[in-house]
Amino acid sequence: DYQEGIRQLGPLADYIVINISSPNTPGLVGLQKREPLRRLLKAAMETRNEVCSAAAEGVTDHENEPNSHRRRHYCPPLLVKISPDLTEEEMVDIAEAVMDCGVDGMVVCNTTQARPDSLVDTSEYEKGQEGGLSGAPLRERSTDCIRTMYRLTGGN
C-alpha cells in the first residue's frame, strides 16, 4: 500500500510521510520494530527514487512547458513520523533504520495514547477520552523525544 501510494501520489506531493505512529491504527506499532521498519523504509525509498527518476526522464529545456521547473527539480523528501510513546530501545531501532535507509527526515512526534497525571479535564481535554492526545499536555514528552532522536541520529 505504501509503495502504491508513493507511485500514485508522489509526483503530486511536496513531501511524503510514512506514519508509523497512528495511535488509532491497529497493528501499526509492529512497524516500529527495526527489521519490519527497515524493510518498509527500504521499499519506500526505492519507490520514491523510481518516481524521481521517472520525473527526471521527462525533463525538458523548454521554459514555457507547464510544470517544467517543478519536474526539473522534483524529488519529494521522505519522512518518518514517530510516536511519543516509544521506549528508548524502540527509538534506537527507529533511528538505526532511518539512518540505514537514507530517509530524508523525521516528524517527531505524533499524538500520545498516554494521559499524564497532570492532565485536567477541560472542554478541550478529557482524561478518559480515547485516541491521540496532543497540545500542551504533550510538550515535555515530545521535547524529550526530539532530544533523544537528535542524539541517536547525530542530528542528521
Q: How far apart are CA 47 and CA 25, in angstroms?
A: 23
Give backbone dihedrals phi and psi of 50, rounded to 5 degrees, phi first: -60, -45
Catalytic annotation present for 22? yes
Q: How far apart are CA 133 and CA 76, in angstroms?
A: 29
Q: What are the percentages of helix, strand and coil residues in the chain, rounded to 5?
A: 50, 10, 40
Active-site hit among 21, 22, 53, 118: 22
Could you give the angle at the alpha carbon of 103 between the alpha carbons of 77 and 98, nearest 5°?
150
- By DSSP bridging, strand 16-19 and strand 78-82 are parallel
* DSSP state, residue 137: G
* DSSP state, residue 133: B
- Which of 73, 74, 62 is CA-nearest to residue 12? 74
- Give catalytic residue positions: 22
